[in-house]
Amino acid sequence: MGTVAVIGGGASGMMAAITAAQEGAHVLLLEHKDRVGKKILSTGNGRCNFTNIHQEPICYRSENPLFPWGIICQFGSQETVSFFLKLGVYSKNRNGYLYPNSGQASSVLDVLRMELARLEVEVRTGVECQEIVRGKKHLSIRTGQGMVRADAVILCAGSRAMPSSGSDGSGYDIAEKMGHRILPVLPALVQLRCREEFFKSIAGVRAEGTVSVFADGQCLARDTGEIQLTAYGISGIPVFQVSRYVSQALHQKEKVTAVLDFMPDFAPEQLQAFLRARIQAQPEKTAEQFLIGLFHKKLSDLWIRLLKLPRNRRACELTEEEITAFVSMIKDFRVTVTSANSYEQAQVCCGGVDTAGINPDTLESQYVPGVFFAGEILDVDGMCGGYNLQWAWSSGYVAGKAACRFASKV
């Protein structure tokens, strides 16, 4: 059996190393930080949403939309659950989102590290990998600490998201030197910054609603859930879900508008009738008072200000036009998105190594035989909800297996 070297000790790297070792290879895991799996500890707010039972091709995004699903089908969420159960992690299901029952992300990292040790994977930390060079028979990895030889190499160096965890984008340089094309790497699953000054007055508000994002008049994406309003713009899971499309549009220098609908279950005319009936039922109330109990006070105060209505104006004196204007504020609240937050705040990046240069069944490089890829370094990003870790487990498994097969034939 040959030697497989894995570059990067994140989720995908550990999965690749474990799989190759389980298949019988001698495995080296090279990590430039002082320990492996730092990012895993921050996942799911420290609880690690490690997969999701709802799986569909649209949960994964790429320039080549069919590419991720071919890999997920080889090792899906059920296989992930069984894999972790075997290592000791019992899963807890919250609306399809799976977490370790312990509620601790550290449990996931602990069992992975124990499995690496059980399989005698040689983990070398503090090793900065810089280049992979193909020799006649072997591959060599140039590192800050000298050359490392292997029969197959799996590049799992992550993206640029959360650089403090070690994902500093250096993996893209290694891939580029081998001839791979890198698609623009942009923050995804991230908060969006908006131009309007009024955000300071509504910071801290959380409201159920739908966010739709438009670039040059075209709807890019939409999602519903709890929207969080911050001093600089918008956040929350629905905002995260649409953010990769916004990052791409802004990168293309397009003008991006986000439209917030705070009453998505009501059609505009239904809402108009609902507000009218509410006013009639409480005629003594002011414009400010009749919204109490319907929306967060900071939000209704802002709408009254934007509509330039006197606060003490009686609601029953509102004209049909003014009620229509309220309906627009509630259902069609438009803000201008100026940027996505940076890599430091992003949970993942979209873009990365173009999958056109990668074998879709084995994740092997089409330019350098014996080099495989896994994880976020590839141009694949998942929706929020456990899909990015699922991509790391699936791709790590596929690359680990294929690399072991390759190494055994050298």
| Residues in touch with ligand FAD (CB under 6 A) | 7-13, 30-33, 39, 42-44, 48-49, 128-129, 156-158, 161-162, 165-167, 170-171, 347-348, 375-376, 386-389, 392
Q: What per-residue string of b and e applies to 230-269 under the rule 16 or more CB within 10 Å gives b?
A: bebbbbbbbbbbbbbbbbbbbeeeeebbbbbbbbeebeee
For residue 125, the minimal CB distance to ligand FAD (Å) is: 9
Closer to ligand FAD at the Cβ: 167 or 286? 167
Closer to ligand FAD at the Cβ: 256 or 377? 377
Q: What is the DSSP string of 224-264?
A: EEEEEE-SSEEESHHHHHHHHHHHHHHHTT--EEEEEES-T
For residue 105, the minimal CB distance to ligand FAD (Å) is: 8
For residue 222, the minimal CB distance to ligand FAD (Å) is: 22
For residue 189, the minimal CB distance to ligand FAD (Å) is: 7
Which is it for the CA torsion 170, 174, 176, 181, positive or negative? negative
For residue 311, the minimal CB distance to ligand FAD (Å) is: 41
Closer to ligand FAD at the Cβ: 161 or 239? 161
Closer to ligand FAD at the Cβ: 168 or 261? 168
Closer to ligand FAD at the Cβ: 188 or 318? 188
For residue 205, the minimal CB distance to ligand FAD (Å) is: 23
Give 29-96 as a 3 state SS string.
EEECCCCCCHHHHHHHHHCCCCEECCCCHHHEECCCCCHHHHHHCCCCHHHHHHHHHHHCCCEEEECC
Measured from the Cβ of residue 52, the count of other Cβ atoms closer than 10 Å reads 22
Closer to ligand FAD at the Cβ: 48 or 279? 48
Amino acid at 78: Q
What are 40's two structure tokens?
């895993």
